[in-house]
Amino acid sequence: MNETVTITPWNAWPLIIPAVIAVAGIVISSRGTRHHQKGVRELGTSLFLLAVLAGAGMFAIMPGAWDQGERRKALESIGYTSPTFSAEVVQAAGEAGVTAFQAERDGKRVRGVIKSLGGDQWEVEEIEVEP
């Protein structure tokens, strides 16, 4: 069975929040420096550092979690249940990655791959496994 599904790519808008907090930290720190207030300067520096760490953590975790959730929704929309995914495998330089999955369909456990067709279009292909 080969079907094409749409998987919405991750949008980085949540990273705006730590970016705004980092800018606020810079402003607070510079005001503390200008007015010779050590506590305000340290508060601004702390806000900046925490925002940078939070932004880096969000950038490291959120895209993968989003992609996995969207792949799961796409497979469930075409009749698969309980899908699980393996790591992405790149076939050759310049080619899109392939993600292997296992799921249940019509009460049977099946295996397959999801291949990128470019943009947000992906092809779902089942792999026949010999017993």
25 — pLDDT class (breaks 50, 70, 90): very high
In the chain, domain spans = 2-127
- Rounded distance between C-alpha atoms, residue 22 and residue 55, angstroms: 9
Q: What is the mean pLDDT of the chain?
A: 88
pLDDT of residue 38: 94
- Rounded distance between C-alpha atoms, residue 129 and residue 131, angstroms: 6
2 — pLDDT class (breaks 50, 70, 90): confident
pLDDT of residue 3: 87
- Among 49, 28, 48, residue whose Cα is nearest residue 39: 28
pLDDT tens-place string over residues 41-61: 999 999 999 999 999 999 999
pLDDT tens-place string over residues 66-100: 888 898 999 999 989 999 888 766 666 666 678 88
Residues 6+ apart with CB under 8 A from 42: 29, 32
Q: Which one has a higher pLDDT value, 115 or 27?
A: 27
- Among 87, 116, 83, residue whose Cα is nearest residue 102: 83
pTM value surpassing 0.75:
no
